[in-house]
């Protein structure tokens, strides 16, 4: 009885400084626990998570009530985590410093002479060149998902066959150059690995496990077959800082990009076009799957690797402009099959 009373008081205190009555947050939090199958250690853990959830709930509600915002926030699988816990959960920082990794000898994709030749919009998702959204889990392997996404798109465009390629093979076997499994990597180096490796195998033959183990794992050398047709002849770096060059590149095929994603907006993003303040300290590899315009705001369509329950079914729209929001324009590249 005494312990129950103490717990009840602690729960009440956890939400005392929030906008709504405690019951409001408790109901939403229980739904959150069920939806995402959370395993809470004990009563103290429940109280801590409820408090964090309530604070995030209020932050999201306040943001969405601001009529000047071009994007929405929403509850998702990260809503019971503090900002620092979320950063650790998704292992942001899984790309290497691009200005140290870009190859001056790589072919360059530059802006077209006639900018009006670029399509007004591109969507490789609806065109069938993009596999379903994947989840990197508790491993800094974003670079491998960006790499396979670009390879999958290029392969589909050339062979009209959508294959899901193995991130785990990259994470476990691509250990030279700048790639370090769960400790980060760089897409250009991964394209080079696939070229030198004579291709890459499929997700089905070499499934992803590092998201649950949190480790890169040892390289398996048997039990699968590499697809030699996906070995790129080379890769192309897109002209840095040019909207028209990147539009031209993604009109050709999906493009690997790196962005700065360690922003609170990324933790809670649920839809619309991300605008506002975002730097260019690149820390996350993703796939540029197209571009378009929504309610008068131009955007880049970006496929993330945090699962389909995050964002807009796993995607985020980022402002498309010369302001280079989140560093989208800083280091794009794509494989040449």
From 142, 173, 182, 326, the catalytic residue: 142
Q: Is 183 a catalytic residue?
A: no
Long-range Cβ contacts of 64-72 (<8 Å, 24+ apart)? 69/272, 70/272, 70/273, 70/274, 70/275, 70/295, 70/297, 70/319, 71/265, 71/269, 71/270, 71/271, 71/272, 71/273, 71/274, 71/275, 71/317, 72/269, 72/270, 72/271, 72/272
Contacts (Cβ under 8 Å, ≥6 apart) of 330? 98, 240, 241, 258, 280, 282, 324
Task: Provide the H-helix boundaries in the chain.
Answer: 2-14, 22-36, 43-65, 83-90, 98-101, 142-159, 167-173, 187-196, 210-213, 243-252, 264-268
Alpha carbons 34 and 43: distance in angstroms, whole number: 16
Is the Cβ–Cβ distance between 169 and 128 less than 8 Å? no
Contacts (Cβ under 8 Å, ≥6 apart) of 159? 229
Q: Is 304 a catalytic residue?
A: yes
Alpha carbons 256 and 287: distance in angstroms, whole number: 5
Q: Is 63 a catalytic residue?
A: no
From 56, 118, 227, 304, the catalytic residue: 304
Alpha carbons 149 and 170: distance in angstroms, whole number: 13
Question: How far from each other are the two terminal CA atoms of the chain, in whole angstroms?
Answer: 69
Q: Provide the b/e sequence for 73-85 (b: ≥16 CB within 10 Å).
A: bebbbbbbbeeee
Alpha carbons 255 and 246: distance in angstroms, whole number: 9
Alpha carbons 333 and 238: distance in angstroms, whole number: 5
Active site residues: 142, 284, 304
């Amino acid at each position: 009885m005494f312990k129950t009373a103490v717990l009840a008081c602690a729960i009440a205190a956890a939400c005392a400084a929030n906008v709504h009555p405690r019951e409001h947050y408790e109901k939403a939090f229980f739904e959150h626990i069920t939806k995402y199958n959370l395993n809470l250690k004990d009563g103290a853990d429940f109280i801590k998570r409820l408090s964090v959830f309530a604070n995030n709930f209020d932050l999201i509600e306040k943001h969405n009530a601001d009529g000047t915002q071009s994007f929405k926030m929403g509850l998702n699988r990260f809503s019971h985590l503090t900002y620092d816990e979320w950063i650790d959960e998704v292992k942001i920082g899984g790309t290497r410093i691009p200005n140290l990794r870009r190859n001056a000898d790589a072919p360059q994709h530059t802006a077209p002479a006639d900018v009006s030749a670029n399509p007004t919009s591109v969507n490789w998702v609806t065109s069938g060149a993009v596999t379903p959204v994947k989840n990197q889990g508790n491993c800094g392997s974003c670079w491998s998902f960006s790499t396979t996404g670009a390879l999958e798109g290029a392969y589909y465009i050339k062979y009209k066959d959508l294959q899901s390629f193995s991130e785990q093979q990259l994470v476990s076997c691509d250990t030279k150059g700048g790639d370090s499994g769960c400790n980060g990597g760089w897409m250009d180096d991964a394209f080079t690995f696939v070229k030198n490796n004579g291709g890459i195998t499929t997700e089905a033959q070499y499934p992803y496990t590092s998201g649950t183990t949190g480790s890169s794992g040892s390289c398996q050398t048997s039990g699968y077959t590499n697809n030699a047709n996906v070995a790129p002849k080379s890769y192309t770096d897109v002209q840095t800082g040019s909207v028209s060059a990147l539009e031209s590149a993604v009109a050709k095929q999906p493009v690997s990009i790196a962005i700065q994603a360690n922003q609170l907006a990324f933790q809670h993003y649920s839809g619309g076009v991300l605008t506002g303040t975002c730097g260019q300290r690149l820390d996350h590899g993703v796939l540029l799957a197209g571009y378009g315009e929504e309610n008068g705001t131009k955007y880049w369509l970006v496929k993330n690797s945090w699962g389909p329950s995050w964002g807009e079914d796993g995607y985020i729209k980022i402002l498309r402009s010369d302001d280079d929001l989140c560093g989208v324009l800083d280091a794009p590249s794509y494989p040449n099959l």
